[in-house]
């Protein structure tokens, strides 16, 4: 029993050290690459730098919630097509949309693409409106060859809904050989001649466009097709330098705090304190790997606060176990029996405290937005991991230590 427990403790310690080294340095085996956890964790805007914007939706619109969801989807697709694949777009409250875009070089250009609801109209030769941008289902930048010289040309390929298809078909049938002007915010961007009726609901906008102009034009056309009127009410740029400094400071503070906690646990609880330190190391590895692997999780400054609070919960669970263990030991029970009874008496308190915190984190995550939601997500990860650490990991390690057959009670309590 003693030898088995000793081997188990040694293997556990070696695994913890090995996984810790992999988390810090990463590894590569053939074509498979394991990134360091620090590189794999997605950083939020306040740590990474970029811009954020908040838009207010028109609450007087019919089917407001449905149109808000559709607007979020369209805006996300628009940013993705423009190359901003890491942009985060969420609803904030009931009537706002928050957009966060990290690593942005030109904030003004992005905000124009995202938030300028361009007014697009197709006008017949007499200036009558044939259709508007809301009839456009899809607009995408395309590249082709000019029929005359074979040179590369860029154009916007668009697709219309049923109402737009009928209106455009009637107009192009009635005005063969004439021009139909495409007007964007009272500016004519193209005035092609109708060579034949266009009845299939698809068309193209061509002209002397560069590749970037076509990309921007397609995005602006789609912004004119937003199902909901939106208004920019807040925007700001976040300095990447500020974020890096804040992250470095937070990491340093966290390292110092954890070291102090570990020293305190050993000084007060001795061998059980050493067990708590190993369990805390395992806890932190699980949390950081969860932050790196769980989809959609971003680490923010409030999120770091959630991690620290989770560490506090994990330490608190160990303190409850060891205090109950100490009481049983002072009551005259053997070390092994004191560990079992102490853990049993502490279990209900640990579960109650963690469950109440989990409920609070879930509520904040569901109803919160922005920084509050980021805090809630990391807190939830931390508290769930804390409960697993207290209920299973600490118990497992403490049982292995008590099975070593150590008789000196002073190694377990003051």
Burial status of residue 331 (CB atoms within 10 A of its CB: 0-12, 13-18, 19 or more): exposed
pLDDT of residue 286: 92
Question: 149 lies in a domain?
Answer: yes
Q: What is the pLDDT of residues 106-141, one digit of tens each?
A: 777 667 666 655 567 888 888 888 888 778 877 788
Q: What is the CATH number of the domain that holds 134?
A: 3.30.1360.200
Predicted confidence (pLDDT) at residue 263 exceeds the cutoff of 90: yes
Residues 130 and 229 reside in one and the same domain: yes
Residues 390 and 260 reside in one and the same domain: yes
Residues 219, 78 contacting (CB under 8 angstroms):
yes
pTM to 2 decimal places: 0.66
Q: What is the CATH number of the domain that holds 378?
A: 1.20.1640.10
- Last-in-domain residue among 237, 255, 280: 237
Residues 83 and 224 reside in one and the same domain: yes
- Last-in-domain residue among 237, 267, 284: 237
- Tokens representing 328? 């049983």
Burial status of residue 139 (CB atoms within 10 A of its CB: 0-12, 13-18, 19 or more): buried
Residues 210 and 261 reside in one and the same domain: no
Query: Domain range for residue 246?
Result: 2-41+239-411
Residues 160 and 266 reside in one and the same domain: no
Q: What is the pLDDT of residues 394-406, one digit of tens each?
A: 989 988 888 888 8
Residues 229 and 377 reside in one and the same domain: no
| Integer CA distances (angstroms), 47 to 99, 246, 315, in order | 16, 7, 27
- With cut-offs at 50, 70 and 90, classify the pLDDT of residue 240: low
Residues 263 and 356 reside in one and the same domain: yes
Question: 406 lies in a domain?
Answer: yes
Q: What is the pLDDT of residues 168-211, one digit of tens each?
A: 899 988 988 888 888 866 778 778 788 888 888 888 777 777 88
Residues 348 and 269 reside in one and the same domain: yes
- Tokens representing 119? 């007014």
Q: What is the pLDDT of residues 265-301, one digit of tens each?
A: 998 888 888 999 999 999 999 998 998 888 767 787 7
| Residue 337 Cα to chain centre, angstroms | 46
- Tokens representing 65? 């919630």
Residues 90 and 229 reside in one and the same domain: yes
Residues 227 and 252 reside in one and the same domain: no
Residues 317 and 273 reside in one and the same domain: yes
pLDDT of residue 309: 86
Q: What is the pLDDT of residues 359-391, one digit of tens each?
A: 999 998 877 766 677 788 888 999 999 888 888
Q: How many domains does the chain have?
A: 2
Q: How far apart are CA 67 and CA 187, in angstroms?
A: 28
| Integer CA distances (angstroms), 378 to 229, 246, 365, in order | 34, 17, 10
- Tokens representing 374? 């980021």
pLDDT of residue 118: 57
DSSP H or E stretch at residue 242: helix 240-269
């Amino acid at each position: 029993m003693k030898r088995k427990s000793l081997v188990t403790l040694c293997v556990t310690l070696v695994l913890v050290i090995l996984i810790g080294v992999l988390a810090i340095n990463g590894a590569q085996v053939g074509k498979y690459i394991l990134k360091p956890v620090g590189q794999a964790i997605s950083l939020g805007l306040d740590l990474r730098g970029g811009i954020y914007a908040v838009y207010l939706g028109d609450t007087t619109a019919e089917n407001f919630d449905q149109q808000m969801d559709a607007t979020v989807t369209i805006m996300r697709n628009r940013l993705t097509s423009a190359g901003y694949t890491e942009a985060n777009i969420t609803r904030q409250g009931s009537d706002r949309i928050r957009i966060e875009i990290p690593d942005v070089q030109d904030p003004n250009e992005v905000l124009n693409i995202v938030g300028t609801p361009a007014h697009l109209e197709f006008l017949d030769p007499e200036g009558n409106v044939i259709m508007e941008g809301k009839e456009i289902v899809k607009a995408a930048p395309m590249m082709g060859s000019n029929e005359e010289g074979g040179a590369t040309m860029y154009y916007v390929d668009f697709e219309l809904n049923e109402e737009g298809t009928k209106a455009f078909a009637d107009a192009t049938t009635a005005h063969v050989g004439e021009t139909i002007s495409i007007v964007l915010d009272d500016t004519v961007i193209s005035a092609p001649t109708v060579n034949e009726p266009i009845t299939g609901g698809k068309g193209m906008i061509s002209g002397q466009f560069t590749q970037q102009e076509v990309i921007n034009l397609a995005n602006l056309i789609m912004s004119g097709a937003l199902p909901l009127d939106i208004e920019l009410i807040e925007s700001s740029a976040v300095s990447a330098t500020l974020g890096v400094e804040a992250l470095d400071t937070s990491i340093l503070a966290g390292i110092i705090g954890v070291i102090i906690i570990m020293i305190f646990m050993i000084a007060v609880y001795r061998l059980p304190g050493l067990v708590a330190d190993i369990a805390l190391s395992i806890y932190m590895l699980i949390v950081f790997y969860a932050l790196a692997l769980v989809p959609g999780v971003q680490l923010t400054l409030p999120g770091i606060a959630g991690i620290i609070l989770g560490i506090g919960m994990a330490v608190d669970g160990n303190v409850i176990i060891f205090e109950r263990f100490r009481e049983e030991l002072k009551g005259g029970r053997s070390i092994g029996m004191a560990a079992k009874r102490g853990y049993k008496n502490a279990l209900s308190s640990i579960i109650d405290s963690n469950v109440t915190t989990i409920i609070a984190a879930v509520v904040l995550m569901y109803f919160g937005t922005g920084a509050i939601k980021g805090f809630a997500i990391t807190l939830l990860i931390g508290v769930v991991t804390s409960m697993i650490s207290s209920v299973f990991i600490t118990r497992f390690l403490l049982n292995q230590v008590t099975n070593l057959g150590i008789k000196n009670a002073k190694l377990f309590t003051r």
